[in-house]
Structure 1
Amino acid sequence: MLAEPPPPALRYGPSGHRAAPATAGGSAPYWRRLLPVVALLVLITRIPSFRHPLWSPDEGYLAVQARMLADGGALYETVVDRKPPLLPWLYEAVLALFGDGSPYAMKVLAAVAHLLTAALLAAVARERWGDRAGRTAGVLHPLLSVGLNPEDTQAATFEVFILPFTAAAIWCAGRGRPGAAGLAVAGALLTKQTGGAVLVPVLWLLWHSAPGRAGLPRLAAGLALPVLAAALLTDPSGFLFWTVTGSAAYAAFTGSGLHMASRGLANSALLALACSPLLAPLVRARRTAPGGTARGGTADLWVWLAASAVAVVAGFHFFGHYFLQLVPPLVLLATAALRPLPREQAASALLTSVCVCALFVTWGILAPRPELAHAQRIADAVRARTAPTDRVLVWGIHPETYWLADRTPASRYLTAGLLTNYSGGRDGPRVGEKYAMAGAWPVLVAELRSRPPALVVDDSRGGPYAPGRLPTLRALLARQYRPLPATVDGAVLYVRSPGG
């Protein structure tokens, strides 16, 4: 006598709109056909990332942090940043395995992160709406994930590694696994604070089911335990300060309002262009969705999109890479919007998306990187004027200079931003010594006195964080250093004065 088949997995959320689950026998061939296609798309869309060792200052910051950690530094003590620890640890591990090739190895891992995200989104769409929807979601993610400035999409930075965690959180919550969903939310949160926004749709999914509400303690445990472990593995007070309490000035809505608004509008326009073939179906689906809490099975996705939009706005900086957090919910919403369309019309929208994606990939391949070239010229000058064992201080916003020069930073503060609140172009009234991270200037002075750098590079180039506007740094340079007569690409190099 044949045994009865096991009951289907418990589903939370808009269960009335889910497709019948695929049989186990049909699942493996489905993924064997889909994953190679998605992997190929990810590989093609990530080709520009391998053009340069570093695409953005964030990559440079993480690479330098990895070296400092590998040399015995301690996170949130002698190695500091406003970000959680997961990505610095990953960079450190990759550096240990691949040495100076680690930036390119990280680009491979970024591609893997996109592949995992696409696969998870495909799994969510397939469970809700069937095989065709799964294929659509899997293909759409790599197409939309490059729909911003290449500097924002091709760099192996925080937002890229948030994506698989957020997609996993939604997938786990939808399958009735609150503990696993909590772990995924913790992974996103420990990659970047705004990754925690996915907790909102996860809670929505669980709350709209009686079994889901019963699983809330497991969700809380899955979320809290990794965060507590990360705090204990670092310095608990430092972890709290650098990731939460010490960033009030960074997140304040002051300074350069017009500049930040224009950046936000520009990046919104770029993402809208990437999504342009899908906007009409999305609007139509939103207008015609049936009433009720499920909103046609996409209510949690709209909640996810709204929570991600709040995360993008948080801090009022509107960097392009922040917008990557919008891509997974947009992919699933677009997938749902394409479902009722005739096959030919849906295929036309996807083909147009491929063409738009090709424009962004071409932009990435051809785009110049003037700031990277600038950092390389300064790095060449630093290398020519210092020994490999010398420490240097690069006063600016390009920490990649340390990596390119292969020199040890003279301070734990790798950019002027942490010491002046010059945060990604913010140059209003709240830039200066008094707006630095609490206690930062005494630490900097102690570092420079105990082990004076052999060379100081003023790379402010007239910016609001220039040494002339900072009494402590200005006095230190006047006492112990003298400027070289020739500048390097606008940067002023200071060497130690005789007897300094």
Structure 2
Amino acid sequence: MNSSFKRTWIYFIIFALLVALVRLPTLGIVLDTDSSANAFLARQMLRGETLYDKFHTAHHLPGIYYTNLLAFRLFGDNPVSPKILLIIFMLAGTWMLFLMGRELFDRPVGLLAAFFYILGTSQLNLAGTTAEMEHFAIPFMITTVFLFFLLYKKDAPALHFIWVGVLGAVSMLYKIIFVPSLVAIGFAILLGAWIERKKEGTIKKAFLRLVMIGLGVVIPLLLTGAYFAALGLWERFQLVFKLGFQYTGDQSLTYPLPKPFGFPLFMLAMNNIALLVIAALGVYHLAQRSYSLKTFASLVDVTFLIWLFTALVLAGFRGGGYQHYVLIVIPPLAVTAAFEIMSNYRKWRESSPKTAVRIGTGVVVGLIVLNFLWNNYDLYRYYIPNGPHKETSYPAIEARRMEVFDYIKAHTAPDDFIYVWSINVQAYYYADRLPPIDILWPSYVSATGAPERIFDPRTKYIIASEENILARPEWFKNGLAQNYFLEIIINDTEIYRRK
């Protein structure tokens, strides 16, 4: 075993340990509302139901549900399974980012980028403890860019680029807007053609590469649509896009932040201001270095800048949203931050003592780590032996949700329905009870029929909370008053039982 191969294995083991270190404390935490909804639908698929048939995903494509189904088949139907599978996905994304950074910049940039990716995607207030679909899609986005550059450097035949499109399509099957890597690659091909414009056949080569990538994207998407059409579910599948357009126009998630960059930059700053500032400096120096657009290195620089820019736009084009929207920004952000640190390291090394340069670089990296630990303290303090006020830590507070789920499960039979009027719909998965209608989310209660369907005679319990977030319309209040009575309140959650 040569030294290079041995060193690579050491890096892999270190990354695996780091991923385990940040992810294992999240395994016992209750699934967030999105992840629990994904798990609920995957459970129904495990039991023989077809996606989009009896139950519908609302505005989501099938990728995350089949991923959860895979987790259940591998590790069993339990809330830990998606998070175990996520550890594997996260390690894959970390490794791909390291290899890409090493290939396109140098080994230190790859190492730092991978390290920052682990930290950035594990931040408590960026949905770092969840099994959100962004976590599963990001490794495919990273691999899409990496494969493109491997093929580009080898001047591979255009046909090979179809696999770049296939990987991009896999990302889109999680969420249709997960296209930052594809957008960046499209620009890279055009910019590469500009750089090599004096070579014969450049335009044809660029055109064929774009066509092949386009085919790679379209074929999996068409096959997915054809699959559900063959099952007689074409109209149900189309509903995803109808509801998706409605969702993007929902003004309830719009904050008074400038579009499109305000929301993602605010969230990144709140979670790790050190990483954001260093990455911002990296953006400036990458742009400065790539200005001439004459070399492969400048093409790489511009591609990463476009990737970062597109990810920021797609994370914030609504002017607001949920924390996990920002996760797609982390990979290019991590690379630009790593580039900035290592480029400054090399400059300092020319004019300063080696020890001082190492200390200075360590301080900068340490600031990013300290920001991470500070903002994740509410998670990790739960696991500190004899730590103070553990009962108010994030895992302890989340665990109280189980009281509601346990109560519902204990007071219902398997054939009873429940309906959750809340943004937190975990009760369906944890209590293992079905809703009376096909879409879990209250915001879509009228999407496929009259909203009063929720008051089905078999609906034994209505669970309601967060009235300040999710308003209760008159029809809901009237139906509740006519058919149900308040049986108990558990941790501010009202549980109404059928009269």
TM-score of Structure 1 vs Structure 2, range by shorter chain: 0.7 to 0.9
Q: Counterparts of 1:11-22 in structure 2 under 5 Å?
A: none
Flag the 1:41–1:194 CA change in 2: closer, same or farther, 3 A.
Answer: same
Whole-angstrom CA distance in 1 between matches of 2:3 and 2:187: 31
Identity %: 20
Alignment pair present for 1:452 and 2:471: no
Give distance in 2, aligned partners of 1:247 and 1:97: 31
The match for 1:363 is 378
Name the structure 2 match of 1:403. Answer: 429
Alignment of 1:302-313 (within 5 A): 302-313=305-316
In structure 1, the residue corresponding to 2:146 is in which secondary structure? helix
- Structural RMSD (CA): 2.9
- State the aligned residue count: 446
Structure 2 Cα separation of the partners of residues 173 and 160 of structure 1: 21
Structure 2 residue runs of 5 or longer lacking an equivalent are 152-159, 194-201, 347-357, 382-392
Question: Out of 227, 238, 246, which is 1:249 matched to?
Answer: 246
* More deviation, 213-222/165-174: 213-222
How many angstroms apart in 1 are the aligned matches of 2:186 and 2:147? 12
Shift of 1:329: 0.5
Instruction: Call closer, same or farther: CA 1:284–1:229 in 2, change over 3 Å.
Output: closer
Q: Residue 455 of structure 1: SS of its match in structure 2? A: strand
Aligned to 1:326: 329
Q: Which residue of 1 aligns with 2:208?
A: 214
Q: Kindly indicate whether residue 496 of structure 2 is the aligned counterpart of residue 490 of structure 1.
A: no
Task: For residues 211-243 of structure 1, give each alpha carbon's deviation from its aligned partner in whole angstroms, at most 9, with x where no partner exists.
Answer: 34322222112111111222223333322321x
- Correspondence for 1:375: 401
Query: Which runs of 5 or more residues in structure 1 are unaligned?
Result: 1-23, 420-435
Asked whether 1:73 is paired with 2:49, we answer yes
Q: Give the structure 2 partner of residue 285 of structure 1.
A: 285
Q: Which moved more, 1:117-126 or 1:451-460?
A: 451-460
Match of 2:449 in 1: 441
2:465/2:493 contact within 8 Å kept: yes
* Alignment partners' CA distance in 2, 1:300 and 1:441: 46
Maintained 8 Å contact 1:39/1:115: yes
Give 1:233's match in structure 2, choosing from 202, 223, 227: 227
- Answer yes or no: is the 8 Å Cα contact 1:377–1:488 preserved in 2: yes
Q: Tell which deviates more after alignment, 185-194 or 70-79.
A: 70-79
Change in 2 beyond 3 A, CA 1:57/1:203: same
Deviation at 1:272?
4.3
Distance 2:414 2:252 in 1: 39
Note the C-alpha offset of 1:300.
Answer: 0.5
Q: Secondary structure at the match of 2:418?
A: strand
* Preserved CA contact (<8 Å) 2:256 2:319: no
CA-to-aligned-CA distance 1:274-314 (integer Å, 9 cap, x gap):
50573475266246425223684410001000110111013
Paired letter, 1:230: T
Which of 339, 344, 365 is the equivalent residue of 1:341?
344
The SS at the match of 2:413 is coil
TM-score w.r.t. length of structure 2: 0.80
Q: Report the CA distance between 1:474 and its aligned residue.
A: 4.1
Q: Whole-Å Cα distance in 1 between the matches of residues 485 and 132 of structure 2?
A: 35
Residue 201 in 1 paired to residue 184 in 2? yes
Residue 475 and residue 119 in structure 1: after superposition, are their counterparts in 2 closer, same or farther (change >3 A)? same
CA distance in 2, matches of 1:329, 1:264: 14
Question: CA separation of 1:238/1:27 partners in 2, compared to 1, >3 Å: closer, same or farther?
Answer: farther
In 1, Cα distance between equivalents of 2:396 and 2:135: 23
Measured after TM superposition, the shift of residue 248 of structure 1 is 2.5
The runs of at least 4 consecutive aligned structure 1 residues that moved more than 6 Å come to: 259-263
Aligned to 2:114: 138
SS, match of residue 301 in structure 1: helix
For 2:371, the aligned partner's letter is V
Distance in 1, matches of 2:254 and 2:212, equals 42
Q: Which residue of 2 aligns with 1:127?
A: 103
Within 2, Cα distance between the matches of 1:490 and 1:361?
26
- Whether 1:298 and 2:295 are equivalent positions in the alignment is no
Distance 1:223 1:186 in 2: 5
Q: Which residue of 1 aligns with 2:196?
A: none
Q: Does 1:28 align with 2:5?
A: yes
Tell me how far 1:159 sits from its aligned partner.
0.8
The superposition leaves residues 129-182 of structure 1 with CA deviations (integer Å, 9 ceiling, x where unpaired) of 2333332323232133234516x1110111101110110110111122421210
Name the SS for the 1:72 alignment partner: coil
Task: Note if contact 1:60-1:398 (Cα within 8 Å) is conserved in structure 2.
Answer: no
Deviation at 1:184, TM superposition (A): 1.1
Which residue of structure 1 aligns with residue 270 of structure 2?
Answer: 270
